[in-house]
Amino acid sequence: MIKVYHGSDHIIKNPVYMGGKEDNDYGNGFYTTEYEDRARDWAGLNGAPETSYVNIYHLDIDNLKVMDLNDHGVLAWIAEVVAHRGISDENASIVGTRLVELYKPDTNNMDIIKGYRADDSYTQVIEAFLLNQINLFEVERLFYKGSLGNQVFLKSEKAFENIQWIEAYSVELTEEDKKADLYARREVSKFLSERMKAILLDGFEVPGITARYAVQNQLSYQGNGGYQNAGI
């Protein structure tokens, strides 16, 4: 049994199976987190000041099939997000489709999926990776920098049967909280902008594992963020 939190603009006592949208990070389901401060931030940033709530639940995972994407590496996480969210840039989409074919884990029989959260503004990081503007290590670093946090995604009907609402409370972010989030997003955008400038004007070549390298080589995740060429 774990305690999970959901930030929202309303109180949700009974999450509805298949009541979301397919183009969210991991598909249609219910998104929660084990970190109360993250749920508080999500509620405050996405809801109106007078209607922002943190919902608290008990989730019994003892008999559920749980996949933690952090155990499968950043490539698996990127592939999972791209498979559901899609990519607007045509060139990035070509690479993204191939990345999904190579690295998306099989989540069909999973009840719960854990992994990074990627909101709309941070999908620019994934797109930059697919366009070979940043490497895999930088993707991970930028998501840590943004502090979006990890999420617990309820995928199956069985998972929805195992969640129980406890209570909810209203929240309102301080100006400092809002400024911190805005600063983090600006820092990410600034890094990506400076990287593109370096590529276009200085001929900078991105080192490490790029999307091009990942689709040209069969990479195997070794844990602790490391990959090796499975063909070697």
- Count the residues in the chain: 232
Domain range annotation of the chain: 2-229
Q: How far apart are CA 171 and CA 133, in angstroms?
A: 38
- By the 8 A CB rule, do 105 and 66 touch? no
pLDDT (tens digit, 0 to 9) for every residue of the chain, 232 residues total?
Answer: 899 999 888 899 999 988 777 767 787 899 999 989 888 888 876 666 667 899 999 999 999 999 999 899 999 999 999 998 888 889 999 999 999 999 999 999 999 999 888 766 668 899 999 999 999 999 988 875 444 578 999 999 999 999 999 999 988 776 776 777 777 778 888 999 999 999 999 999 999 999 999 999 989 998 877 888 865 4
Tokens of 153: 């995604």
